[in-house]
Structure 1
Amino acid sequence: MPRYYFDTRDNERFIPDETGVEIATLDEVKLAASRAMADFAKDVLPGSVVRTLAIEVRGKFGPVLLVSLRFEIEHATARN
């Protein structure tokens, strides 16, 4: 079974996955990356104003998938 590595990026901070996980199909990789992004965002977004998160999935031969999320809070101006 192929091994995939889920490297994370939080704004400019890059954290490589040194362990990886074995996953059978690309569809399962997409599902795992989506779930990982949801968990990642849940942990770091509260209290943020602007944040760009990414999970870069790589396999034995290089990049396979990129999941990214941009979060931004903008204050609305009062309209009369």
Structure 2
Amino acid sequence: MQKELDQLEQQLNQRIYNLFKVKFDGNKSAFARASHCRESTIRRLFRNEQGITINLLLRIANALDVTAEELLKDIKYSDKDV
């Protein structure tokens, strides 16, 4: 179960990273400012050292000019035991 969650989180982080590279040309400081968070948060997120909260997801989506729904599209968690 945890392995699947980690993979889904990595998939979300990769989507964010790909959009960030295009819009911010790799500038983590500018992305952090636009997301209203610290640059260290962005670095930890991209290194998969930190999870993403709903609050942060919404701020990141806004900075990337997309919706949270677009970032989460086709990311599905299906734990049969729940």
TM range (shorter): 0.3 to 0.5
**Structure with greater Cα Rg:** 1
**Structure with the higher helix share, 1 or 2:** 2
TM-score by length of 1: 0.34
